[in-house]
Structure 1
Amino acid sequence: MIDTTVFSETSTSGKPRRRERRHRSLKVLAVLTVAWLVIDKAASIIQPASTVGHWRSHEGFESYRTAYDEVMATLPAPTRTHDVHTEYGAVRVYEWAAGNDASASRSPVVLLPGIRSGAPMWGENLIHWIGQRTLYAMDAIGDAGMSTQAMPFTSFDDQAEWVEQVLVGLDLERVHVVGHSFGGAIAAVHSLRHPGRVVSLTLLEPVMVLRGLPASTYLWSALLLLPMPQSWKDYALAEIGGVSVAEVQERTPMSVMIDMGSRHYASVTLVPRSLTDDEWRSTSMPVRIDLASDTSLAGGAAAADRARSLGMEPVTVWPRTTHSLPVQVAEQLGSELDRYWEQHDR
């Protein structure tokens, strides 16, 4: 394990504009999430054998790292940076330590990101929790970021094992786990495999595990696999996510980072599976579900109905939100999750 302190905290000048731009970037990320899931599924069908995620070239990685560092520089400076070695590869983890002895006694929080967004996606959320308890945000194995993959995944459920090995490596006995999108699916599977490690589970727009994607999403995403003009592909992305073509085409630090990752990182992520009713009912920890009202990639109202029927609480469908829920309701989630964690600390 390697511990270093990296990146500097930025001033608050221009913060409203940065938040608006990050909001738009993550809104487009919501669109790209589905597209990449479909592409990865198609690739897994035609790929002759399992491989590990990797950078296609050193130059491509350097382009991505420059963009990644630019986004990370907008986040509060982490207390420590860890590279935790697991059976599946090395995982980059950023830690923000609790502010005092009282907050340090509370169960820490682990944040699992959506696909292609890594630890930088939590910028708007971290500011509400830093100092209240220790926080850990990580880049996923098999995805663009500072983590590296050394062993192929044989199924999506293997994702639970690298998460567990990271928690063991950090000597974290019991944690609150929060996952968004693809990270929500990983968090759900990890909680099934290792329930004793999880104090509470919060899933923000978790893809596939409650409801599958609609057929129309696959049809639009299919255009991205064909040799079509970029303008047609941009239109397809806009239709998938309910955004404008201009939003798809806008360049921001976050969108540049995402673009560099999608261009230069060859991932073998595997598609999440829908969990059965019996699997959901077997969860022993409190499970909180937060879903979007508009263009939900997790199933929206139908997913909420299923979650409630399985006894999950609270289950919230946030009005006027999309798949980029964490940043859209960052302030509300900040206080709500802080109370939720405190309620279930033990």
Structure 2
Amino acid sequence: MTAIYRSDDARQAIEAGYRTLLDRWPVPSASATLPTRHGDTFVLVSGPDDAPPVVLLHGAGFNSAAWLADAALWARTHRLYAVDLLGEAGLSAPVRPPLGSGAYAEWLDDVLDGLGVERAAFVGTSLGGWLALDYTVRRPERVSRLVLLVPGGIGRQKYAAVLASVFLMSFGDRGRRASAGLMLGPRGSAEPGGPALGEQLLLIQRGFRYRRDPLPIFTDDQLRAIAAPVLVVAGAKDRMLDQRGTARRVRALVADATVTLVPDAGHVPERYSQPVHAFLTNGDPR
């Protein structure tokens, strides 16, 4: 397969920037690299040892630094396992099994088994949301609750912004910043997650090869079969995914679902940390 980085120097720069961000993790943490049948997987662990487990799955083209602003709150009540996705800009193996195959469910089986976790809540963003939902469909007995932030695989994908962003990327760092703004859409802050994450995103844009394969869409029957409580938070102005369609399908098909469609937000999830915490604690933040 094509290498996921444009050069070894690019890989080293992205990894160095990521490790710097992990040094800022807001609560005490430990890391582990777990062997799985689809490649070694980096996991950052925080929160009380005996607290209910939550698996965090970031989006495409990024890494677990995406959770920096959330970890302090969620780790008060839960054991957090922030997992770097395979084939993305983190510290896990640079492999990309076919989407829609059983490979990612096997991978998450191995991750949970390696962590000694039988059943967990899952929080996933974009591609991470697709992976969490795929796992829920394939392994319902291992998912206690499911949080989907701007998820893929429910509403249709959009391509106009993607094509325009590819053109902008050819104009150096200014074009890359414009490309990110176009793709991610409206948001309340100047940078997604603040300037430090914005600089990491720029490093990734310079040196990382994003995956291009479309996300398979879950069927009505697959969504109807979900028994776990589900929370969806999405942006009505998402330029990458039809989140209005996502909201309609989840409300119509998932029995125990709460859907929040943020009217002025794009593909950067916003104002979700407190509602997610309330959902994970079933309204009792202790």
Measured against the shorter chain, the TM-score band is 0.7 to 0.9
Residue 128 of structure 1 contacts residue 335 of structure 1 at CA under 8 Å; is this kept in 2? no
Of the candidates 216, 232, 242, which is equivalent to residue 289 of structure 1? 232
CA–CA distance in structure 1, aligned partners of residues 281 and 16 of structure 2? 33
Q: Residue 117 of structure 1: which of 62, 81, 88 is its match?
A: 62
Tell which deviates more after alignment, 164-173 or 211-220: 211-220
Distance in 2, matches of 1:263 and 1:254, equals 14
**Contact 2:184–2:268 under 8 Å retained in 1:** no
Give the deviation of 1:73 after TM superposition: 2.4
Q: 1:335 to 1:218 in 2, by over 3 A?
A: same
Task: Find out whether 1:133 has 2:100 as its counterpart.
Answer: no
Residues 163, 294 of structure 1: alpha-carbon distance in 2 compared, 3 angstrom cutoff = same
Cα distance in 2 for residues equivalent to 1:211 and 1:329: 20
Deviations along 1:115-144, whole A, 9 cap, x unmatched? 122111111111111131211101111111
- Partner of 2:39 in structure 1? 89
Q: Which residue of 2 aligns with 1:257?
A: 200
Aligned to 2:10: 60
Residue 216 of structure 1: CA displacement? 2.8
Gaps of 5+ in 1: 1-50
Match of residue 15 from structure 1: none
Output the CA distance in 1 between the equivalents of 2:166 and 2:5.
Answer: 24
| 1:201 matched to 2:151 | no
Q: How far, CA to CA, are the matches of 2:12 and 2:172 in structure 1?
A: 28
Alignment of 1:316-327 (within 5 A): 316-325=260-269, 327=270
Equivalent of 2:117, from 165, 172, 187?
A: 172
CA distance 1:239–1:210, shift in 2 (3 Å): same
* 1:216 aligns with one of 126, 146, 160: 160
State yes or no: 1:181 paired with 2:126: yes
Which of 9, 18, 23 aligns to 1:73? It is 23
How far did 1:310 drift? 0.3
Amino acid at match of 1:188: L
1:74: Cα distance to partner? 2.3
Q: Which residue is 2:135 aligned to? A: 190
Amino acid at match of 2:226: T
| TM-score normalised by the chain length of structure 1 | 0.71
Opposite residue 73 of structure 1, the aligned amino acid is: D
The corresponding residue for 2:93 is 148
In the aligned structure 2, how far is the partner of 1:232 from the partner of 1:152?
27
Seq. identity, %: 24
Report the AA paired with residue 315 of structure 1.
V
Q: 1:160 aligns with which of 85, 91, 105?
A: 105
Which residue number corresponds to residue 259 of structure 2? 315
Which has the higher Rg, Structure 1 or Structure 2?
A: 1
Contact 1:160 1:187 in 2 (8 A): no
Superposed CA deviations along residues 141-182 of structure 1, whole A, max 9, x for unmatched, are 111111123x55133433232122111111110100110111
Letter of the structure 1 residue corresponding to residue 261 of structure 2: V
Deviation at 1:331, TM superposition (A): 3.3
Tell me the SS of whatever aligns to 1:199: strand
- Paired letter, 2:98: T
Greater relative CO (CA pairs within 8 A, separation 6+): 1
Decide which of 216, 222, 233 is 1:273's aligned counterpart: 216
Distance 2:22 2:36 in 1: 24
Give the residue type in structure 2 aligned to 1:285: A
Counterpart CA distance in 2 for 1:141 and 1:236 is: 24
Change (3 A) 1:243 1:290: closer
Identify the range of structure 1 (80-89 vs 151-160) with the bigger mean alpha-carbon deviation: 151-160
CA spacing shift, 1:236–1:126, aligned 2, 3 Å: closer
How far apart are residue 282 of structure 1 and its match?
2.1
Cα 1:237/1:255, change in 2 over 3 Å: closer
CA distance in structure 2 between the partners assigned to 1:330 and 1:320 by the alignment: 17
Cα distance in 2, alignment partners of residues 170 and 269 from structure 1: 31
Whole-angstrom CA distance in 2 between matches of 1:291 and 1:63: 31
Q: Which amino acid aligns with 1:198?
A: V
Letter in 2 for 1:278: D
CA-based RMSD:
3.0
Misfit runs of 4+, over 6 Å? none
Corresponding residue SS for 1:169: helix
The number of equivalent residue pairs is: 280
Looking at structure 2, the residues matched to 222 and 332 of structure 1 have their Cα atoms a distance apart, in angstroms, of: 34
